[in-house]
Amino acid sequence: DQRKDYGQTLLKPQNDFQHHVEHLLTMHLEQDLRSAEDCLGRLKGLEEQGRIWGQNVILEVKDQELVLRDVESKEELESFPLESVQGCSTGLDNTVLAISVQDRNPPGTSVLLFQCERLGAETLRSSLEKVLRQKKEEQSHHYGHRYTG
């Protein structure tokens, strides 16, 4: 009974993903930056030059959005629709999480880079991917479609 299942999901705490991380920078993919891996390489170079100032943020999934909040004020700094999240990867010895998102305006792809020393980037990546999968399923249940695949 799908309706019952949907009722159950409403009772679950909405915040399955909420972590303190450091937002290092956001890069837009272009000619010389073609992938999250390229961005991680660029980040490493900038870090070695001491040119990175991170900002402590709360990275969370709220409703159907990936949200960055200020740790102190809890103010929303940036948000991205979950369907715009194209993928996550990790790098620099499991300290950095790279999240690729589809930009609407201007169209393209941005890669957000976060330092995750507390839990390790890999833990955050698998946790975020799990939440993204769940949200996708919830959406397909919600609209009464079952996507297989």
pLDDT at 17: 93
Can you list the domains of the chain with their CATH numbers?
Answer: 14-142 (2.30.29.30)
From the first residue on, what is the mean pLDDT of each consecutive set of 10 residues in the chain (149 residues)? Answer: 49 71 96 95 96 96 94 96 96 96 92 94 96 87 59
pLDDT at 1: 47
Which residues, other chains included, contact 132 with Cβ-Cβ below 8 Å and sequence gap of 6+?
Answer: 61, 82, 85
**Long-range pairs of 83-90 with CB within 8 A, sequence gap ≥ 24:** 85/132, 87/36, 88/125, 88/128, 88/129, 89/36, 89/37, 89/40, 89/125, 90/121, 90/122, 90/125
pLDDT at 71: 95
